[in-house]
A and B are shown apart, each in its own frame.
Chain A
Amino acid sequence: MRIYVCVKQVPDTETKIKLTGDGKIDLNGVKWVVNPYDEFAIEEALNLKTKLTDSKVTIVSLGPKKRTTDAIRTALAMGADDGILIDCEDDLDQNGTAKAIAEAIKQEGEPAIVFAGKLSIDDNGAGLPQILAEYLNLPHVSVIHEFETADNTFTVTREAESGSSKTYQVTGPCVLSTNKGLNTPRYASLPGIMKAKKKPLKEVAFADLGVSNEINKVTYKSFQLPAEKPEVKYISGEAANQAAELVNLLKNEAKVL
């Protein structure tokens, strides 16, 4: 059985976003990490592997070669078996990325299950897993925080509207997107890191996947930093006075009550 995990590299959450002179996002000096939600996907895939006989965890990632290799090696160091790197220097949107990953998976072999993080924390994209499911013609459930398996049936719970949660039973193969709370991702051990260097990493050129150049549906332009906030207005005095004054300001100055 083949378990696939989609992984992306993103700027570390500590990153302070700056713009370049020509109004693009300045990625110089950015520390790249595996997207935090993808770590839950990797961990769940590794857990599942221990329950299934004759199964293999394959990491799939698309992007510039150097950075993408790092992301895949990180996942291999955690325990995944092999990787597929789709070498692509161009900025692809979620639709283009999902299509390329779908084609790579089709070439590689039928999935039993595909895991992906529910959201990538750079462009706040939360659509890739569902789009991938569409291109693979598989059912999907997104934003899951519970996962159980019995034969080819997966029981998953997702966070739904207004704090409710819904449990679905899905017949595999399927695509699942992972939320925090699902598991605690392991750290790569030193032997794991050493082993990862020797694990198979297959490179696929984006051009060889036969994806149309009309696949990109959106482009990001005119990046802007948020407007500077006016200076904070401090309210001093005893707690009772501070509270009274704050309520007064919220009511009569800010008018938000």
Chain B
Amino acid sequence: MSKKVLVLLEGNNDLKNSCKELLSEAKNASAEIYAMAFGSNAKTLAEQSAHYGATTAFINSNADLDNYNPETYLELVNTWVKDSGAEVVLASSGSLAKDLMPRVAAGLNTGYVSDGTSIDWNDLTVTKPLYAGKCTATVEFQNSPIKFILMRPNQLSINDADTSATCDIRESNDVKTDLKTIIKNIVQNTSEKLDLTEANIIVAGGRGMKEADNFKMLDDLAGVLGATVGASRAVCDAGWVPHSMQVGQTGKTVAPNLYIACGISGAIQHLAGMSSSKVIVAINNDPEAPIFQKATYGIVGDLFEVVPKLTEEFKKVL
């Protein structure tokens, strides 16, 4: 019998790639797919989820849900998990689900795992990195009638969309009032850049960048590549860039297709956070820098000469 899987949908007008990955993963496991979405865009997201295999979608289009509030979301997810009869709940391991799902799972007296990189659908075990990637473990559920699984972005493949497919949309509009948590202000990131944990390509800078202003050079390179800019701990601590850009054990753990490290020597904490990237390029003037041990391609040289040339070369082919 196929498993009932409930997938959390996120995105503005377009369903996030990470959610397409989850739907494709469930589809490839021959699951019966339910989806859930919140806020003004919920219906659009639900319709798109059908293209990747969802047959039923629970939505609440109340505009009060446009911004995440743990209290309002908690109650709805609880209801939808019960209504769907889902055995597995899938979500992208990002800021929203990492906040919400542990609490929903605990309330239902069941287990959750975050940062998954693969799922074994036969026994519902999940592989995840520990110590920011210094090792991995297989996670087994126990005493868990429902399994909440949060998967890292960029780990799974996306099926071709079947744009003719539709799903049964079940709409509700009520939202919990009498809240203890109120949203006061939102500062949107003005750039169109993806979050580091979702980015396909990352260009990162370290102490070798010499000063904050030089990150402009990495912005240019990232602009050509459609990449997100990251940084080592040293430069975040120095205040050159915000902590949200930090890659490593006390920052973000990332695994893009391409990671270009500029002037990063490669402390163990940094390597832990990025070494599962598919292809790693290291540009550093110190041939002894530990980053080269993890790199696919290495350039020993002056990044201030190499990076601008690299931007030019990428422009030619992209």
Contacts and interface: CB of A to CB of B under 8 A. Distances in A.
A134 B294 CA distance: 41
Interface string B177-216: 0001111111111010111001001000000000000000
B25 interface: no
Given A162-B189, A233-B298, A25 B135 contact: yes
Interface residues of B, number: 97
A163 B245 CA distance: 9
Contact of A242 (B67, B194, B309, B317): B309
Interface in A222-257: 222-226, 229-230, 232-236, 239-240, 242-244, 246-247, 249-251, 254, 256-257
A14 B276 CA distance: 18
Interface in B94-134: 94-96, 98-103, 105-107, 110-115, 125, 128-134
B314 to A, nearest CB: 6
B143 A217 contact: yes
Contacts of B106: 95, 98, 130-131, 134-135
Contacts of A162: 189, 193-195, 198
Contact of B99 (A130, A139, A220): A130
Contacts, number: 264
Nearest to A241: B309
A244 B316 CA distance: 10
A237 to B, nearest CB: 9
Contact of B278 (A37, A163, A256): A256
Nearest to A181: B243
Contacts of B191: 163
B318 interface: yes
Contacts of A98: 106
Contact of A247 (B96, B294, B313): B313
B106 to A, nearest CB: 4
Interface in B209-249: 242-244, 246, 249
Interface string B258-283: 10000000001100000110110110
Interface stretch (B34-42, B44-52, B300-308): B300-308
B103 A130 contact: yes
A234 B130 CA distance: 30
B99 A142 contact: yes
Contacts of A57: none
A169 interface: yes
A131 B296 contact: no
B313 A223 contact: no
Given A98-B106, A240-B309, A166 B185 contact: yes
Contact of B180 (A134, A159, A171): A171
B312 A243 contact: yes
Interface stretch (A44-52, A66-74, A119-127, A189-197): A119-127
B61 interface: no
Contacts of B70: 130, 139-141
B296 A254 contact: yes
Interface residues of A, number: 86
Given A130-B102, A155-B184, A164-B186, A221 B140 contact: yes
B60 interface: no
Contacts of B71: 139
B115 A124 contact: yes
Given A127-B102, A127-B112, A143-B95, A220 B131 contact: no
Contacts of B194: 162
Contacts of B300: 234, 236
Nearest to A179: B243
B189 A163 contact: yes
Interface in B68-114: 68-71, 94-96, 98-103, 105-107, 110-114
B137 A221 contact: yes
A113 interface: no
B135 A17 contact: yes
Point out which of A15, A37, A124 has the most chain B C-beta atoms below 10 A from its C-beta.
A124
Contacts of B112: 127, 217-218
Contact of B281 (A142, A166, A250): A250
A91 to B, nearest CB: 12
6 contacts: A162-B194, A163-B191, A163-B244, A166-B68, A229-B294, A230-B296
Closest 4 CB pairs of A and B: A217-B111, A127-B102, A163-B189, A243-B309
Interface of B: 10, 67-71, 94-96, 98-103, 105-107, 110-115, 125, 128-144, 180-189, 191, 193-195, 198, 201, 242-244, 246, 249-251, 253, 257-258, 268-269, 275-276, 278-279, 281-282, 292-302, 305-306, 309-310, 312-314, 316-318
